[in-house]
A and B are shown apart, each in its own frame.
Chain A
Amino acid sequence: AQSVTQLGSHVSVSEGALVLLRCNYSSSVPPYLFWYVQYPNQGLQLLLKYTSAATLVKGINGFEAEFKKSETSFHLTKPSAHMSDAAEYFCAVSNIAGGTSYGKLTFGQGTILTVHP
């Protein structure tokens, strides 16, 4: 079984400050990991994904995440927050598709990011 825990349902930062959104996962096999972003009244968009290549993954809009196997973590960071980053962020885990495992995604509970001027 696989699961995802996002630490902190709400994170608030000032514009220009570091953004850090925490995600820990549990998986019985090497995982694939994803961060999705949801802007108000929209669907989810893929920010970045880890697929067992480089452990530091760069995504869109200046976000990046680092896969740390020893800590079972995949935290999302951005050096300088912008007002347009205000959204809800979801971490998700899956294992490799194929056979009965299929590659289904399991999502965390979400973290709402607020950016103050």
Chain B
Amino acid sequence: NAGVTQTPKFQVLKTGQSMTLQCAQDMNHNSMYWYRQDPGMGLRLIYYSASEGTTDKGEVPNGYNVSRLNKREFSLRLESAAPSQTSVYFCASSALQLSGANVLTFGAGSRLTVL
């Protein structure tokens, strides 16, 4: 059971270049998320998809776009990368538990450096 798989694990870009981070989950979860992690700031939500066919902005969406390709896949695109987007990006998925709690399962992360 692979869980949540992110690609690539590492990427170096030049300012202005574009790229897409890929994420796939095999747990039949309805909801998927993209977070970024920066030192001392915890994880901040970029975009999320509550269910297939829907996407919504999170806390820090500027400079990013997302696509929920199908129930399994949720991609994050940087159209014109900036040094401020240097970060570790995490994809996560979740399914509501009977208690009503939303428990997230995370991928291993993608480390992006923008020069």
Contact = CB atoms under 8 A, between A and B. Distances in A.
A and B assemble together: yes
Interface of A: 4, 9, 32, 34, 36, 41-46, 49, 51-53, 90, 94, 96-98, 102-105, 107-110
Interface residues of B, number: 26
- Among B50, B90, B99, B101, the one with the most A-chain Cβ atoms within 10 Å of its Cβ is B101
26 contacts: A4-B42, A32-B100, A34-B101, A43-B4, A44-B90, A44-B104, A45-B106, A46-B104, A46-B105, A49-B101, A49-B103, A51-B99, A94-B102, A96-B100, A97-B96, A97-B101, A103-B100, A104-B45, A104-B102, A105-B45, A105-B104, A107-B35, A107-B42, A107-B44, A109-B42, A110-B40
A117 to B, nearest CB: 26
Which 10 A-B pairs have CB atoms at the shortest separation, nearest pair first? A103-B102, A43-B106, A51-B99, A107-B42, A107-B43, A96-B100, A44-B106, A32-B101, A51-B101, A109-B42
Q: Is the interface of A mostly helix, strand, loop or mixed?
A: loop
Interface of B: 4, 35, 40-45, 48, 50, 58, 90, 92, 96-97, 99-109
Contacts of B96: 97, 103
A90 B42 contact: yes
Contact of B48 (A4, A53, A94, A104): A104
Contact of B58 (A51, A94, A98, A104): A104
